[in-house]
Amino acid sequence: MFINTLFRRFTNPAMDTLLTETHHVFGDGSAMRDQFKSAFAHIKYYYPDFKEPKIETVITGMETDIFVSDSLVGILLIWKRIS
């Protein structure tokens, strides 16, 4: 059942539309990258040993929209069907 749900989500033509719209809204991601750079500079000011995590964006049909660990911040751009 889970595999069938994933298959339907990722073969849905709306995923291509999501990719196009994501590029339209976020562009190359430079604005988001600049915001993280500024935030990390502030954190580094107060915590000099702070190591900046890698930032990745992922387009997904899953329900979670952010993942954070000590070395990675994942921002998941999600697709949800609006009924």
Asked if the structure places residue 83 within a domain, the reply is: no
Q: What is the pLDDT along the chain (83 residues), one digit of tens a residue?
A: 878 877 887 787 877 777 787 778 777 778 888 898 999 999 999 999 998 888 877 776 555 566 677 777 777 765 444 33
pLDDT at position 9 is 74
Report DSSP letters for 18-65, one per residue.
HHHHHHHHHTTSHHHHHHHHHHHHHHHHH-TT--PPEEEEEEESSS--
pLDDT at position 65 is 63
Q: How many domains does the chain have?
A: 1
Asked if the structure places residue 73 within a domain, the reply is: yes
pLDDT at position 62 is 59
Handedness of CA 59, 14, 35, 75 (dihedral sign): negative
The residue segments making up the domain with residue 41 are: 2-78
Helix, coil or strand: residue 9: helix
pLDDT at position 46 is 96
